[in-house]
């Protein structure tokens, strides 16, 4: 948690220095303090002192700031903050949207944040009989800010540089392009760049690129372990497949989080201060040259006087430990039946959400004898979100019918859903009294899992989604062709386009006899009362109370 950042002495000192020199952004913190102190001090002041809003427009710090915002927007982080801090963070999100729009870069990062904001809106609007807790006027202001962010995101169009802009990447000599590629530190960016142009693909296939990437992310000892495991210790350098070696290293050791960012906040052990390394900070050593020697004499020497502070660690200083940073899926939200349990509704949330986001709405749909299960997806890196972690059922490279899909991830998530269904069947619930549903990415998984489950389900409800791995159908279908399918889609959806839902419906109707596609005029990537009413009718019709 943070120490008294806004203390009078600090402000006075900064005012005195302002006439002579600019003081770099920094913030002193206190470690291992009590919850009372953590509550007294605020995150908002630290964000101001570290100049996060300006950092959004610094290419070195952009991804770090976005990762921090992502953690705060997911779960209940942002809603647990004071109103002023909430307002500041939403202003930062609006600044991100404006910067992305101006720079025409990092579009997928913004789309991921916008999707999380929608999930936050849905989650908060379901509280307290449809009203979010806290100040209604403040929440109305937040809604307006979120709407502006969504409007900015929906209006972004990537424009090709004009003919007078020189030089373009294609105009650069091959050696210059190679040097650019050698500075890319994320393998996902390398693989994506390979599809841009034939020369890029040829350069990225060079073993030197992957050798440099391996040595950047991993130690010599780690590399030696993998070489020995792959029986490549005695193989000549030119015969080694460094791309395969890198992926083996990544799977065994993982990639250190601090290497995902061009610049990451640092913590000075000597003066207990957070700062940006490129800007530095007024360290106590500069003011008192013999301080380091006194620390060493006291037996507290440490070779690493500074340490990197990943976004999740930054939040821990404020007792805001983000659950989504652990990489573990939370336990499913379960709403028990009111009467004797004879049926079950399993509903899967969308990207970046949790089981809590839909539990209230699904609870309102159930019949008295129906149990509701709303699981939470595991936390994983998502390609379309810049490689940063989100609650996600599988990886998403983009939301498009033609782009490559995470087949392995989809099938792994499908096995998990099948296990949930089988667990209900083992407890005595017939498969034809189990409804499977989902929204967005969760709806896509519900479709695939329902169609590939051998026993007949009561029905599948797929909201604002698409049919994943559509080319594999009807070959992989295992369910009877009479299983009812309800697809619901808004015709103004800016995330999963309406036409994707229509195309998926056409594929489904070619091999499923009881598939219905329902359109909601003016609806974006969210739900509405009419849709929930149609879902309730679907449940009542296909799972009558016993």
Q: Where are the domains of the chain?
A: 40-155, 186-259, 333-542
From 24-33, 274-283, 286-295, 516-525, the region with the lowest mean pLDDT: 286-295
Per-residue DSSP letters for 477-514? --S-TT--EEEEEETT-SSS-HHHHHHHHHHHHTT-TT
Closest CA to 439 of 375, 348, 534: 348
| Catalytic residue from among 26, 214, 493, 504 | 493
How high is the pLDDT of residue 42?
61
Q: Which residue has the higher pLDDT, 342 or 123?
A: 342
Which tens digit of pLDDT belongs to each residue from 113-166?
A: 888 888 777 766 655 444 444 567 777 888 899 999 999 998 888 777 777 777
Model confidence at 41: pLDDT above 50: no
- Distance from CA of residue 15 to its chain's centroid? 40
Highest mean pLDDT among 60-64, 288-292, 389-393, 451-455: 451-455
Tell me the mean pLDDT in the region 483-507.
93
Contact 461, 483 (CB under 8 A): no
What pTM, to 2 d.p., does this model score?
0.52
Short-list 269, 342, 338, CA closest to 302: 269
pLDDT surpasses 90 at 490? yes
Cα(423)–Cα(360) distance, rounded to whole angstroms? 23
Q: Which of 440, 504, 505, 527 is catalytic?
A: 440
When pLDDT is averaged across residues 296-322 and rounded to a whole number, the result is 66
SS3 assignment, position 458: coil
Both tokens assigned to 277: 């390394």
Which of 351 and 12 is assigned the larger pLDDT? Answer: 351
For tokens 């929930």, name the residue: 532
Question: Does residue 142 carry a catalytic annotation?
Answer: no
Based on the residue annotation, tell me whether 325 is a catalytic residue of this protein. Answer: no
275 closest CA partner among 11, 51, 531, 518: 51
Q: What is the DSSP string of 198-217?
A: HHHHHHHTSHHHHHHHHHHH
For residue 337, pLDDT over 70 is answered with yes
Mean pLDDT of the 376-392 span = 81
Name the CATH superfamily, with its identifier, for domain 333-542.
Answer: Alpha/Beta hydrolase fold, catalytic domain (3.40.50.1820)
User: 3-state class of 331 per DSSP?
Assistant: coil
36-40, 186-190, 245-249, 462-466: least confidently modelled range: 36-40
Annotated active-site residue 151? The verdict is no
**The two three-digit tokens of residue 406, written as one number:** 């995470």
Would you say the C-alpha torsion 322, 325, 326, 331 has a positive or negative sign?
Answer: positive
Quote the pLDDT of residue 32: 46
Q: Return the CA Rg of the chain.
A: 26
Report pLDDT digits (tens) over 182-212: 888 888 888 888 887 888 889 999 989 999 9
Q: Which candidate in 369, 525, 526, 542 is catalytic? A: 525
Rounded CA-CA distance 508/500 in Å is: 12
């Amino acid at each position: 948690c943070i120490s008294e950042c806004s203390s009078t002495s600090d402000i006075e000192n900064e005012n005195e220095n302002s006439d002579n020199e600019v003081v770099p952004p920094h913030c002193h913190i206190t470690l291992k303090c009590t919850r009372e102190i953590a509550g007294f001090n605020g995150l908002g002041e630290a964000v101001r002192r570290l100049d996060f809003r300006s950092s959004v427009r610094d290419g070195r710090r952009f991804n770090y700031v976005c990762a921090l915002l992502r953690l705060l927007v997911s779960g209940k982080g942002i809603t647990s903050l004071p109103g002023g801090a909430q307002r500041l963070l939403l202003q930062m999100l609006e600044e991100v949207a404006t910067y992305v729009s101006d720079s025409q870069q990092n579009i997928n990062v913004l789309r991921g944040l916008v999707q999380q904001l929608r999930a936050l809106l849905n989650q908060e609007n379901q509280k307290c009989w449809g009203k979010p807790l806290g100040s209604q006027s403040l929440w109305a202001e937040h809604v307006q800010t979120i709407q502006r962010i969504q409007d900015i995101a929906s209006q972004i169009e990537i424009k090709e540089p004009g003919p007078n802009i020189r030089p373009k990447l294609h105009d650069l000599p091959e050696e210059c392009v190679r040097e650019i590629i050698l500075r890319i530190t994320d393998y996902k960016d390398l693989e994506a760049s390979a599809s841009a142009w034939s020369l890029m693909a040829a350069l990225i296939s060079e073993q030197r690129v992957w050798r440099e990437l391996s040595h950047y992310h991993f130690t010599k000892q780690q590399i030696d372990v993998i070489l020995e495991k792959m029986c490549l210790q005695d193989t000549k350098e030119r015969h080694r497949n460094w791309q395969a070696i890198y992926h083996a290293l990544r799977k065994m050791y993982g990639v250190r989080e601090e290497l995902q960012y061009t610049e990451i906040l640092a913590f000075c052990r000597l003066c207990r201060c957070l700062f940006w390394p490129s800007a530095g900070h007024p360290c106590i050593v500069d003011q008192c040259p013999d301080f380091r020697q006194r620390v060493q004499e006291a037996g507290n020497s440490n070779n690493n006087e500074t340490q990197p502070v990943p976004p999740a660690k930054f939040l821990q200083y404020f007792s805001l430990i983000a659950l989504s940073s652990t990489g573990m899926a939370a336990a499913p939200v379960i709403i028990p039946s009111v009467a004797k349990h004879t049926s079950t509704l399993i509903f899967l949330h969308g990207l970046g959400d949790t089981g809590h986001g839909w539990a209230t709405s699904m609870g309102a749909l159930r019949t008295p004898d129906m149990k509701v299960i709303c699981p939470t997806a595991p936390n994983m890196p998502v390609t379309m979100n810049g490689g940063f972690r989100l609650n996600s059922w599988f990886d998403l490279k983009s939301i498009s019918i033609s782009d490559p899909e995470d087949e392995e991830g989809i099938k792994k998530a499908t096995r998990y859903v099948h296990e949930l269904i089988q667990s209900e069947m083992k407890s005595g619930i017939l498969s034809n009294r189990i409804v499977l549903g989902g929204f967005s990415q969760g709806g896509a998984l519900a479709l695939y899992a329902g169609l590939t489950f051998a026993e007949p389900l009561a029905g599948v409800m797929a909201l604002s989604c698409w049919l994943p791995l559509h080319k594999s159908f009807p070959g992989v279908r295992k369910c009877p062709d009479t299983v009812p399918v309800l697809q619901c889609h808004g015709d103004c959806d800016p995330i999963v386009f309406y036409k994707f839902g229509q195309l998926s419906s056409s594929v489904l109707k070619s091999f499923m006899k009881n598939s219905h596609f329902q359109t909601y005029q003016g609806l974006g990537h969210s739900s509405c009362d009419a849709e929930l009413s149609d879902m309730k009718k679907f449940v009542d019709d296909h799972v009558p109370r016993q």
